[in-house]
Amino acid sequence: MKVIRRSLFREFLVYFLGTITVLTLVLSSTRVIRYLASVAQGELPSDVVLSMMGLKLLWAQTIIIPVALYLAALLTLSRWYRDSEMAAINAAGISPLQLLVPVGLVGLFVSLPVGVLSFYLAPWAEEQTVRIEERVESEPALTGVAAGSFRPLDEGRRIFYVQQLSDDKTRMENVFIRAINAEQPETVLVAPTARVEVDQDNGDQFLVLENGHRYDGQAGSLDYRQISYAEYALLIRQPELKQKFRKVETLPTAELKKRGRYGEAEFQWRLSIPISTLLLMLMAVPLSYAAPRSGRAGRLATAMGIYLLYTNLLKVSSAWIGDARIPAWVGVWWVHLLLLLVFIVMMTNLVNPMVNWPHRLLRLRR
């Protein structure tokens, strides 16, 4: 049994590390594309991309680790069935029930750090992400300017465009600004060059246009004016620091009780993550069964279908708690009990194939 246990742990580890690496890379690539698009549009400074990526990946481990462990168990045990290794193990007097012990120990061991992630690190990562977003929104308006893209300034009262921008974002070329004000004639400012200056006394930020032109009104109208200037300084109003509303996902676990039923829903969701890690590991034992030399695609598809149904039911039940559709004592626990019941039925059929549960249920109904 020790040899089998070591072989099981070793193969678990290989599949687990491979799966978690692939899932993390997939998530990272999608996030990088999204963040780089925001940087290109001037919505996000480039210096916060790595921080937000790290925080988002830390939060995502509460999803990635249980899935990776579940897939690792399925791939390992289904390969043993396919290559007749499980038949040899059974011939040695080791039943699937005995395999539940090492598999359950792995699930229990991994569920502990997953619980730490769920209860402490993931909420902390979400809170830090919100703080970064608040800081970005409160930074000077020209901080996020990107060359070649239009950007609103002064809460949408001006449209700003620059063709070229220095690395330190203090020198600009081919600048276009359009002022939007329903009560005043339209104003357009253009300049071949511009610079950014900051008042050292009060921190006000100015955009100084150089050797440009100002156009007031509609071309061809009587009040149309064109003014040339050597320098034209625009005060760039700084955005007010607005504190975002804190969702329950960002709150420390100890403060969830203050949010009533929404806090209770979030608490049960966080607790469900380590519980599901253990339950899914146990479910992998009966789900991985396949006849020797047969394919395992069907079993894996069934296993992933059960996983998706299980996690979606957990999310729906958590939302129902917040909406007061179900009492908190019912909560998400019925979903865990349902999966546990399915596990018991499948394990019974695996250990004793003579037990025909559908046939027995039909007989009871008669």
Looking at the structure, tell me whether residues 10 and 130 fall in a common domain: yes
Domain count, the chain: 2
**pLDDT value for 271:** 94
**Cβ-based burial of 321 (10 A; exposed 0-12, middle 13-18, buried ≥19):** buried
DSSP codes, 244-272: PP--GGGS-GGGGGGGHHHHHHHHHHHHH
Retrieve residue 260's tokens.
Answer: 């009533």
The CA distances from residue 331 to 8, 152, 183, in Å, are: 35, 46, 56
Looking at the structure, tell me whether residues 220 and 356 fall in a common domain: no
Retrieve residue 135's tokens.
Answer: 């800081």
Looking at the structure, tell me whether residues 31 and 111 fall in a common domain: yes
**pLDDT value for 333:** 94
Residue where a domain terminates, one of 197, 217, 236: 236
Retrieve residue 107's tokens.
Answer: 């699930």
Q: How far apart are CA 129 and CA 117, in angstroms?
A: 16
Which residues, 6+ apart, have CB-to-CB distance to 224 below 8 Å?
Answer: 215, 216, 217, 218
Looking at the structure, tell me whether residues 208 and 355 fall in a common domain: no
Looking at the structure, tell me whether residues 222 and 183 fall in a common domain: yes
**Residue 206 belongs to domain spanning:** 141-236
Looking at the structure, tell me whether residues 133 and 145 fall in a common domain: no
Are 285 and 106 in contact, with CB atoms under 8 Å apart? Answer: no
Q: How far apart are CA 13 and CA 7, in angstroms?
A: 10
**pLDDT value for 166:** 81
**pLDDT value for 98:** 80
**pLDDT value for 161:** 84
Residue where a domain terminates, one of 236, 271, 299: 236
Coil, helix or strand for 58? helix
Q: How far apart are CA 100 and CA 10, in angstroms?
A: 16
Residue where a domain terminates, one of 236, 256, 290: 236
The pTM assigned to this predicted structure is: 0.76
**pLDDT value for 41:** 66
Which residue, chain included where needed, has tokens 């979606």? Answer: 312
Looking at the structure, tell me whether residues 216 and 278 fall in a common domain: no
Looking at the structure, tell me whether residues 179 and 225 fall in a common domain: yes
Instruction: Residue 101: count other Cβ atoms within 10 Å of its Cβ.
Output: 11
Helices 260-287 + 333-351 axis angle, to 10: 10
Tell me the helix, strand and coil percentages in the chain, rounded to 5: 60, 15, 25
Of 176, 128, 121, nearest in space to 148 by CA: 176
In Å, how far from its chain's centre is CA 194? 40
The CA distances from residue 89 to 43, 260, 329, in Å, are: 59, 52, 43
* The amino acid at 143: T
Looking at the structure, tell me whether residues 220 and 261 fall in a common domain: no
Looking at the structure, tell me whether residues 272 and 171 fall in a common domain: no
Looking at the structure, tell me whether residues 273 and 342 fall in a common domain: yes
Of 106, 102, 62, 120, nearest in space to 274 by CA: 62
For the chain, what is the largest distance between any 2 Cα atoms, rounded to a whole number of angstroms? 100
Looking at the structure, tell me whether residues 309 and 272 fall in a common domain: yes
Q: How far apart are CA 35 and CA 29, in angstroms?
A: 10
Local confidence pLDDT in tens for the 366 residues of the chain: 677 778 788 888 999 999 999 999 998 888 888 888 877 666 677 778 888 899 999 999 999 999 999 999 998 888 877 766 666 776 666 777 788 888 899 999 999 999 999 999 999 999 998 888 877 776 666 666 677 777 777 666 778 888 888 877 778 888 888 887 766 778 888 889 888 887 777 767 788 888 988 888 776 676 788 889 898 888 877 666 566 667 888 888 888 888 888 899 999 999 999 999 999 999 998 888 766 555 667 778 888 999 999 999 999 999 999 888 889 888 899 999 999 999 998 888 877 765 555 555 545 455
**pLDDT value for 198:** 79
